[in-house]
Amino acid sequence: MTMDPAHDTISGEQADQRDVQKNNLADDNFAGLGGDSQPHQEPRRVNNDPRANTRQKGNQVRRDRRDVHGWVVLDKPIGMTSTQAVAVLKRLFNAKRAGHAGTLDPLASGGLPIALGEATKTVPFVMDGRKRYQFTVCWGEERDTDDIEGRVTATSDQRPTREAILALLPRFTGVIEQIPPRYSAIKIQGERAYDLARDGEIVELAARPVEIHHLTLVNQPDNDHAVFEAECGKGTYVRALARDMGRILGTYGHICALRRTLVGPFGENDMIPLDQLEALCDRAASGEGSLADALMPVETALDDIPALAVTRADAARLHRGQAVLLRGRDAPTSSGTVYVTVAGRLLALAEVGNGEIIPKRVFNLTGLTASSGRNERN
Handedness of CA 336, 340, 344, 347 (dihedral sign): negative
Angle at 96 between CA 91 and CA 99, to 5 degrees: 80
Burial 2-14 (b: 16+ CB within 10 A, else e): bbbbbebebbbbe
* Cα gap 23→80, rounded to integer Å: 21
Contact (Cβ atoms closer than 8 angstroms) between residue 363 and residue 347: yes
* Cα gap 364→347, rounded to integer Å: 7
Q: Is 186 helix (H, G, I), strand (E, B) or coil?
A: coil
Which sequence positions are flagged as catalytic? 105
Q: Where are the beta strands (DSSP E) in 223-314?
A: 225-232, 253-263, 266-267, 271-273, 307-309
* Cα gap 22→17, rounded to integer Å: 9
How far is CA 209 from its chain centroid? 21
Calculate the alpha carbon distances from 147 to 203, 217, 253 in Å.
17, 19, 9
Calculate the alpha carbon distances from 200 to 1, 237, 275 in Å.
25, 22, 40
Handedness of CA 195, 196, 200, 205 (dihedral sign): negative
Contact (Cβ atoms closer than 8 angstroms) between residue 314 and residue 356: no
Contact (Cβ atoms closer than 8 angstroms) between residue 318 and residue 362: yes
Burial 183-196 (b: 16+ CB within 10 A, else e): bbbbeeeeebbbbb
